[in-house]
Every structure is written in structure tokens, then in C-alpha cells.
Structure 1
Amino acid sequence: MLSRLLILLMILVLSSVIWWPGLNDASSFENLSELHLKDTSQKIGSMFESLTPVVDGVRAKVTGTFNALLGDSYLPSEEVDGHKDAPTKEFFTRLWSSPYFVSMRAMLEMSCVRGILAIGWFAFLSPILIAVVIDAWVVRRLKYESFAVHHPTLYQVALSSPTVLLICAFAVMLMPWFIPAWVAALFYVAFLMSIHLIVSNFHRFG
């Protein structure tokens, strides 16, 4: 069952990568990236200003990586074959400069920006995760000492939840709409619940 669900989710992600660039131009994805950065800046204020150079540096590296993969950095394998490789270089240049692939590149860069911001929020909220793990460890000890009834099916679902949530989060990051904070909060709460169930039942089924 889990393997089928993962296959469906991977198909969803691949379909999103193919579908969304055909419906939206590159500027819409770029505007969404800026909108998310401004929204984060408004929420955490001065703290974000101190992290701005780091975010800009990471964005520059992401852009440089995409330039290296999709830009004008295509080089022939050997200098002597440069003339023979000219048609290949022209093919890739025309391919990556088409509006569809320009939009795809902008979409992937937007998802990278969203991923960077998500990692930042995850680190910022890590004390909550630590508190959940400590509470789950206490619950685990109580279950172990009291021989409480366990739920193996629920445990297996919780064990697979982080992977499922990660794939779903990546699919959401590709969407060409502004993602409100409550959506990210739902993902985080679901992740905390799965971690709590995994840790609290690990001694029985781990």
C-alpha cells in the first residue's frame, strides 16, 4: 500500500514539473519567490534582515547551478571536437531558451527558495520538535513500564509519514500560487505527530 502511494506521489511531482511551466510564464514564478521573501521578512522582521546576505548567497548559488546546467556553459568534451559539437550546443541553447523551459527553470528556482525558507523555519521551530521528542520518550517509558497496549498499524503509518510528507511538500512547493503560513503549519504539525508516534512506540516495534 505504501509503495503504491509513493509511486502515485512521485507521478504527481513529475506531472507538476511538466504541467505548471506550460500554464505560467517565468515572471509569475519569480514574483512568487519575491513575495515569499517579503512575507518572511514581515513575519520575523530584523532577524530576517540579518539572514538576508545568507539567503541571497544561497539564491546566487542556486542560480549559478542552474546556469551551469541549463545556461550557456555547455562545452564540447574535447577542444578538437568543438566544430562537431557546435550543432549540439546550438540544440541545447535553443532548447533551454524556449519559453517553456525558461518557465520550468524559474519554477525550480522558486521551489528552491521555498525550500530554503522552509528549512529556516524548521530550524527556528526546532525547540518544539525537541520538546515533542522528549515528551514521546517519556510516554515510551510509561508504556514500557505499564505494559500498555500498542498500535502496530498506527506505528507503521507514522513511520512512513515523514517520507510521504516530504514528497507532498515538494509537490506543493512547485505550485504557482502563494502558499499561506497555515499550510506549512499543517505539514509541521503532521510531522510532529508522526515523530511523537514513532518515538513513543519505538521500543515495541523498532
Structure 2
Amino acid sequence: MFSHQRLKAQRQALGYNQSQVAKALGISRMSYSYWESGKTKPNQKNLKQLADLFQVQETYFESEYPIVTTYLQLSDDNKTKAEQYVDQLLQTQLEAQQKVVQLFAVQVLSDVALSAGRGESLFDEFETETVYSNVEQSGYDLAAWISGDSMEPLYQNGEVVLIKANGFDYDGAVYALSWNDSVYIKKLYREKNGFRMVSLNHDYPDRFIPYEDQPQIVGLVVSHFMPVIGG
């Protein structure tokens, strides 16, 4: 690959200015300045003229020139060692690239924890924070933290739960529910006079919410994940 840095360095080393080089090559100073800035590069004819003027080989202006010239000065044994070392470097680089995992950002409500326990306060002002998942998440309207262990083993404390904002669809689904200034994540069953909240963890008893308390369905829980640490 043509190196405009090596072209400029050699011109300066020989004490030429850009106008002098351009005049010797029969081109405009602007055309030459484009070579040194990397905007364009000389064609094969110009490259030969430059090599003659600067008293170097045409390959001198290639970015790989220092590596190649050094390699050619090595003994056969050292050439073999150099080739093996380069192969090792390339293999290490490829392995490192394969380990790179793409992360996907998710905006989570900072002030709202969906209680998988006794219930958490629902704040009036909602701020968000960014967490990362190693899987792209979709099909949800909002995300919030899970707090507590009443929905274990499926829903873990510290996970992020993804919610599709809608009303009650069917019994036994897991919903986010707002009740008495608290927000819960539970299995819901609609009964004659209210909702029955059921935990997956059998250490927690069922709870009944009368309709007169005006519980609000935040939405259906569609997915959950543990954020990637260090994202």
C-alpha cells in the first residue's frame, strides 16, 4: 500500500519543497500535495519518476517496505523464525477477534423495581439507565429490574424483565401489576371480585387483590435476562 508519510519524509530528508518536486515531475504543486496528504496516489509512471528523483526503489514508498527490507537481510534460519512469529501473532489476533461478543443496549427504568417479593414503591418520576444484553431484545415496550426471589427459579433477583404494555389476556400468564403504590411481577388469575397473585416460589402464599383497590396491569412479561456485567 502506498505510504504518503514515507513520501513526505523522504522529500524532507533530501531538502526538497513540494514545488520543486512537482516541477521536476511536470505536474502541479496541488497534485503533488494530494499525494502527501493521502487524498490521491501516484500512478506507476509517477512512482517511477519519484523513485528516480529520490534515488530509491519504487517499493520504498510502500508502507510494508521497512518490514520487507528487514526480512530480506535475515539469515534463512531467522527468516523461518520470523515467519513463525508472524503466524503466531496472526493466530492470536484472529482468536481475540472471535472472542468479541456484540452487546445490545436496553434502557431500564431506574426507579422502578418489579417486586418478586412483597412489593416495591412505584415512583412518580421515571429515569432510565443503560444495561447490556448479549442477545438483541425486541417485542417489548418497557424494561425494569426484578427485586426479590418470589418468582424463582425462573425469574432471578437482579434480572431485567421485559414487558409488553397491554391489559389482562388470560389466566396464569406472568404480568407486571401496580397495586397500592407497589409494583409486582406475578402469575395472575382473574376471579369474580379481583385478581389472585401467585408466586413461583412456593414459600410465598397467594395474595388476593380486590378490584375496588383499582389494581393496574402494567403489561405482560414477555422475556427476561441477566445483564452482561461490564457492558
Q: Could you tell me the TM-score, scaled by structure 1's length?
A: 0.21
More helix by share: 1
Larger Cα Rg: Structure 1 or Structure 2?
Answer: 2
Greater relative contact order, per chain length (Cα 8 Å cut-off, separation 6+)? 1
